[in-house]
Amino acid sequence: MKDFTSYGKKALRNACILSDDQFKLIDEVKGFFSLELHESRRYAVMTLERPNCNPRNSYLLMDLELRTSEPVEGVKKAKQIIRERCLKQPGANSGLQKETDPAASTFTNSEGGLNVLQTNKKKVADAMAAIPRPSCEELEKYLERWRLNPELFVPELVLNKLFTHQHPLNQDIEEIVLKVAALNTVYNTQIFSVYPIAKRILSLQIDERLRVGDESLVQEIMSVDYMGKIRHINHYSFASKYCSFHNPEAYPIFDSYVEKVLLYYQKKDGFYSFSKEDLKDYGKFKHAIYAFRDYYGLNHYTVKQLDQFLWQFGKDYF
């Protein structure tokens, strides 16, 4: 039984089988050559062309529900991983549910469907209630976890040494290449070709702007034109991290976990007024971070400590 369907970008758009958010997630990687979509419509394998590289192609396994991606060795390996994950998630390996599935009663029996819906709502409500309110106590718990986990603090120490002691400036292309490659390796920031990013950073003459905390620098670094078919990919998370490792107090780090935490508490507590799209503007994102820190009484913690907390907290609960 064929459980994957191949699409190019145009065919995928015309098929109208993904939500706008799912298609946008895929469309952000503008160099994709082809996509193998699993029948669950949750997982996909993306093939990317890498001009002037050997090998020419690279591959991503995408989770369209969690909005995450991870590099894989090839399409065959990715499909194997996806099938194994679906086996561990009953009901996820098919886009259509069988009537024997209790959740299907929502469609086959109105009274039973109402009970299922109410049960699901209660589960969601219980899960949300279990998410703790941000506090000094919670933050200290996660900072302690960070300090005790060498997989977290050792790579960060290495990057701090590289960015602030060994190569603090951005005036030599070889030093910039080294920093970009190291950051991409540690954080898997989806940089498919290091040199164009390094060349972009060198051209911007960023050292003084980093020192004064110029917010517009993140937006300028994150947009890179690649040669060949990969065009104008936005490396927003990478750009915020690159700036942060030079000046951590001026540049809070953006990533998907942090975004989810901010959106959840904005909806729950209304700590600051912003939309999901606003967070893609670095200046607005930075204001949202500071507002979060003020609202929950976390002012005596550094931005770096807040970064460590938000990433771990988001990974735990979202």
The answer on 187 and 40 residing in a single domain is no
pLDDT single digits (tens) 87-130: 876 544 444 333 333 333 333 344 444 454 454 544 445 555 58
- Total of domains in the chain: 2
The answer on 303 and 163 residing in a single domain is yes
Main-chain dihedrals φ then ψ at residue 302, nearest 5 degrees? -75, 165
Residue 195 lies in a domain: yes
The answer on 170 and 298 residing in a single domain is yes
The answer on 303 and 158 residing in a single domain is yes
Residue 194 lies in a domain: yes
The answer on 47 and 160 residing in a single domain is no
The answer on 140 and 59 residing in a single domain is no
* 88, 116, 146 - which closes a domain: 88
By C-alpha distance, which of 312, 147, 311, 291 is closest to 241? Answer: 311
In the structure encoding, which two tokens stand for residue 42, read together?
Answer: 């949750």
In the structure encoding, which two tokens stand for residue 131, read together?
Answer: 């998410």
Across 41-50, 232-241, 244-253, which has the greatest mean pLDDT?
Answer: 244-253
Model pTM score: 0.64
CA angle (233 as vertex; 229, 234 as ends), nearest 5: 175
Cβ burial, residue 17 (10 Å; 0-12/13-18/19+):
middle
Upper half-sphere CA count for residue 116 (Cβ side, 13 Å):
13
The answer on 147 and 24 residing in a single domain is no
pLDDT single digits (tens) 185-204: 999 888 888 999 999 999 99
pLDDT single digits (tens) 291-306: 999 999 999 999 999 9
The answer on 178 and 82 residing in a single domain is no
Residue 103 lies in a domain: no
- Domain range for 57: 4-88
The answer on 197 and 301 residing in a single domain is yes
Residue 111 lies in a domain: no
In 3-state terms, what secondary structure has residue 3? coil
The answer on 308 and 172 residing in a single domain is yes
Residue 217 lies in a domain: yes
Residue 116 is predicted with a pLDDT of 43
43-49 and 32-38: which strand pairing?
antiparallel
Residue 94 lies in a domain: no
The answer on 283 and 185 residing in a single domain is yes
Residue 236 lies in a domain: yes
Residue 110 lies in a domain: no
The answer on 313 and 250 residing in a single domain is yes
